[in-house]
Structure 1
Amino acid sequence: MASSDRRRSKYDRSYSVQEEGLKVGLAGPAGLSRKSRPCSRSKSTRRGQLGTVSSLTYSQKQALTLSWRLMRTQAASCFRKVLLELEIASPKVKQIFYKAALVDAFNKDEDNSATMEAHIRLVIKFFDDILSTLDDDDECLKKMRAIGSSHAVLARSCNFSGDIFERLGEITMERICSHENVQKTREAARAWRILIAIIIDELRSGFDGEARQHRKCSSSDQIDNSPCEEEDDLHLKVRQLRVDFDSSFQT
């Protein structure tokens, strides 16, 4: 619980937006420069008591659904920038998307959910689902943790770690909270910060829990297999002794 509170407090930030920053778009042709972000962060109080989606007020839920409806048509562009920036921040993510793109290029018969474009569609659908079930706290948390746990398989094969979710949260928060439709009201920006913090915390919780389970199963398999391997090795040695004995006796 303490580690969960520490993770969530990391996202409890107050965004102080400068007026000139609202007039200037994100710098660079691809919008990936972090130097010209129109918002800056300042640490605030811990948010450990804001445990779930139920902590959102009615007005905050309204602000979330309204702002999402307004930015929905631009969501693909927004999340593409998020994932491109995540690739820069985490080379592991870039390698995963690169390998997925290669597989997708040679296999057009099956849907490859590991590519960046597929992730963009899945992220948009994820927010559609979450924002449509804000009044059902258990359902929201279940969906968040399921997404996190589904990435646990990457822990062994690609050295994927929970810290990547933390980085994803920071980038997503900056991108969404600097969007013009979110900046229209202070309530919307605060609501998005709270929601993203909860999402990232639950994603990592689901990921860490499933990754630990995988490690336990892997350790159990090794323990279960080791006596069998030792027994097989013993049988081989005994068989070899018999062969050597027979050979020496015949000579």
Structure 2
Amino acid sequence: MLLKLQNVGKTFIDKQKHTSFEVFSDIDLTIAENQFVSILGPSGCGKSTLLSMVAGLENTTEGSITLEKREIKKPGPDRGMVFQQPSLFPWLDVKGNVTFPLKKSMNKQQAELEADHFLKLVQLSKFKHHYIYELSGGMQQRVAIARALAMNPKVLLMDEPFGALDEQTRHILQDKLLEIWQQTKKTILFVTHSIHEAIKLSDRIIVMGTRPGRIISDITIDFPRPRDRENQQVITLEKEIMNLLKTEINKVLKEELADEIQHSS
């Protein structure tokens, strides 16, 4: 297996208040090369925290995460990260944003060739000399994807990359991401709140529960793409996943309501 999470747990400790919060525990997950895997679950289940730990941005409290049998302790070029907000450099143009991390490992000419290749892949070649403020939100996110892919990572990590976009742009970028994945065969670990997005894109869906976070289902999707909303298999699976999440979502709502009552009394 390419990526392995074994008995992984995360607890945040507030030393000033002498309190702790367990985000999740006992997470066991293996991901094979070339798989497109989505993590789906309600707010507070630890989806983004888990992705940050694979990226090396957060440490595990317990357990281990390994990539090609090497334990992850810090960020590295073998993992590319795409956030909900593109996190681009406004003082650089599009091509400059893509070449920026490449210059550490290759010469200028090679970096520019790589940038040109991946900007063509995300259909932004005509905009390579534009600055970030001149682009739409969807175009900015395509720049972020091109930059991550240009690093040639073993795993592409995506934390709700289309969550801040309008529905039409989101749909277009979902299709574009599938095209890119089919061409590059990158392993993708993708966090989303959208059941339909997870079904449309993924080979597997990891469904997480909350309080504390845990894996409640690991679903393999073996019916062909494209997976339109009208497809009966899509409709059936969407209902199954929604039923899985109902209990978890109700748990979150009850806890939030109890907190509101406590703070107002």
Higher helix share: 1
TM (norm. structure 1) is: 0.28
Larger-gyration structure (1/2): 1
Higher strand share: 2
TM (norm. structure 2) is: 0.27
